[in-house]
Amino acid sequence: MQPPAERASPEGEDLVAPPRRMRPQAVNNWGRSHHCDPVIAPPLREFGVPEKDLILNPAELDMDRVLADMEEIRKYIPQRHEMEQISAVLYDDPEIGVIAGYKDLTDQEFWIRGHMPGMPLLPGVLICEAAAQLCTFQVQKHGSMDVNMMGFGGLDKVRFRGIVRPGDRLLLVCKRLALRPRAMIRCAFQAFVGEALVGEGELVGVSIPVEAIHGLDSNKR
């Protein structure tokens, strides 16, 4: 699927960062610093994943053009501290419901000590969480659901196809499949390290009744 051309919002703000191929030097640096070992993270063809089935081709995303940094992301998602799983948003097209962003994994991640000692591997559930946070950013930024808070409603067709380690940049690409305002949203997601697909699936987001939860807390006091 080829992303649409760049366009501007009525206020003049760019909504879409047009993908382009990374400069050769950027690709080389990525490969060296983020452990893109072909044995650990095989290319798409080894999994039988045709390029036409990609939501966006990671090779065509401009990794240097950030649409939203963590300060901007925090305006739209409630997670903080260890549970912040998105470092930047690179591409955002609310009309077709496609968004891309990444999480830079450091040697300070909270899961390193226990998952697993001496061989730290990103838990697959956090790949799903990162995809959910990326979808939430788009939904809340553009008011697609018209709700105060989003939460997980379910996961489907999830497959993990490679491992992710500290030092990797985990790229997430999501696409809206179905939307019922104030009720639910279903999105497909794909996760990459470099250009290698390491995970994919579908997730469901639902409205969280914030007022009802606060009411339950008040009743306990």
pLDDT digits (tens, 9 = 90+) for 79-128: 999 999 999 999 999 999 999 999 999 999 999 999 999 999 999 999 99
Q: What is the mean pLDDT of the chain?
A: 82
- 142 is a catalytic site residue: no
| β-bridge pairing 184-193 and 98-104 | unpaired
Q: Please, are residues 124 and 50 in contact by the beta-carbon 8 Å criterion?
A: no
**CA atoms of 10 and 57, how far apart (whole Å):** 28
pTM: 0.76
Q: Which residue has the higher pLDDT, 24 or 183?
A: 183
Annotate the chain with DSSP letters as a single string.
Answer: -PPPPP-B-TTS-B------PPPHHHHHHHHHHTT--TTTS--GGGGT--GGG-SS-GGGS-TT--SB-HHHHTTT----GGG----EEEEEETTTTEEEEEEE--TT-TTTTTSSTTS----HHHHHHHHHHHHHHHHHHHTSS--S-EEEEEEEEEEE-S---TT-EEEEEEEEEEEETTTEEEEEEEEEETTEEEEEEEEEEEE--HHHHHHHHHHH-
pLDDT bucket at 209, cuts 50 / 70 / 90: confident
**CA atoms of 195 and 40, how far apart (whole Å):** 12
Q: Please, are residues 170 and 164 in contact by the beta-carbon 8 Å criterion?
A: yes
Report percent pLDDT > 70 for the chain: 72
pLDDT bucket at 34, cuts 50 / 70 / 90: very low
Domain residue spans in the chain? 24-220
**CA nearest 3: which of 15, 27, 170?**
15
Q: Name the active-site residue from 81, 115, 142, 214.
A: 115
CATH number given to 24-220? 3.10.129.10
Q: Which residue has the higher pLDDT, 154 or 218?
A: 154
Distant-in-sequence, close-in-space partners of 44: CB < 8 Å, separation ≥ 6: 50, 51, 54, 195, 196, 197
